[in-house]
Amino acid sequence: MNRQFLDIQDLACGYDRQMVLHHINFQAQKGEVVTIIGPNGSGKTTLLKTIPGLIHALEGYALLDQEDLSQMPAKLKAKRVAMVMQPMESIYMTVEEYVLLGRLPYFKTYQFIEDPSDIRAADKYLEYTGISHLKGESLSRISSGERQLATIAKALAQEPELLLMDEPTSHLDISHQAQILKLITDLKQQHDLTVVMVQHDLNLAGEYSDQVILLDKETQTLYKSGSPKEVITEAHIRAVYHTDVVVESNPHSGRPGVFLRKS
């Protein structure tokens, strides 16, 4: 197995010389789910956007299969890397038209409309995300949760190897949260998809990740990385979030569950 499919090397990120994070190092293998957690403003979204080169790295590299992502030709990168970002756009096109945008990197020269294989791919991921019944609806007329599912379907229609997601479950109710995270688990198992996501919900991070990256706002770097059990501990959460919590093992999964401790 390729241990370093995604290799983040000494990455520093920020804006106009304002450093937000420095010395970020982690690796992910194919089929691994990596979740970035940390307090508000600790740089989770900035890091996620720096990985594919959406924001220029101030220092260091993000390598995919040993290739520098910031130097990768745009069309090739669009086939290999898909992003699900916040906030959701509300635009005037149908859900199906929107999901079909995910097929654009596969259009051949002089191909101006989608071909049957693109329609089949869009249909497949509309079904995967449970929104086939909405395909003729305008994006502006569906709920924000449904729009989030459409954005995920569009990203999957790109059939990427690396999926970057900024809080993919933030607008979803508990059943849709479970559906999306189950889908990510299936995709990683069946298609070796590597996922890096930002997650506010520490319980979801603990439950669905292979590796957790905890960012610290004060030191502007990685506080701890490792398995959910290694990272999501009472001491680490207290140190980084300055909040007293109880961490107990979920009796069903054995994964860490986080509960607020009443003062």
Q: Which residues bind ligand ADP (CB under 6 A)?
A: 15, 20, 38, 40-46
Choice between 47 and 122, CB closer to ligand ADP: 47
How far is 45 from 57, CA to CA, in rounded Å? Answer: 13
- For the bound state, the minimum distance from the C-beta of residue 232 to ligand ADP, rounded and expressed in Å, comes to 17
Choice between 42 and 177, CB closer to ligand ADP: 42
Q: Sort strands 81-84 and 162-166 into parallel, antiparallel or unpaired.
A: parallel
In sequence order, the 6+-apart residues with CB closer than 8 A to the CB of 86 are 45, 166, 167, 170
Choice between 18 and 263, CB closer to ligand ADP: 18
- For the bound state, the minimum distance from the C-beta of residue 50 to ligand ADP, rounded and expressed in Å, comes to 9
Choice between 139 and 213, CB closer to ligand ADP: 213
The SS3 assignment for 148 reads helix
Choice between 38 and 206, CB closer to ligand ADP: 38
- For the bound state, the minimum distance from the C-beta of residue 221 to ligand ADP, rounded and expressed in Å, comes to 13
In sequence order, the 6+-apart residues with CB closer than 8 A to the CB of 133 are none
Beta bridge partners of 250: none
The CA distances from residue 69 to 53, 75, 222, in Å, are: 7, 12, 21
- For the bound state, the minimum distance from the C-beta of residue 59 to ligand ADP, rounded and expressed in Å, comes to 16
- For the bound state, the minimum distance from the C-beta of residue 163 to ligand ADP, rounded and expressed in Å, comes to 18
Q: Take residue 188 and report the two structure tokens written for it.
A: 């990683």
- For the bound state, the minimum distance from the C-beta of residue 21 to ligand ADP, rounded and expressed in Å, comes to 8
Choice between 46 and 70, CB closer to ligand ADP: 46
**Angle at which helices 144-157 and 174-191 pack, to 10 degrees?**
10
The CA distances from residue 2 to 18, 98, 194, 225, in Å, are: 34, 33, 12, 19
Name the residue type at position 110: Y
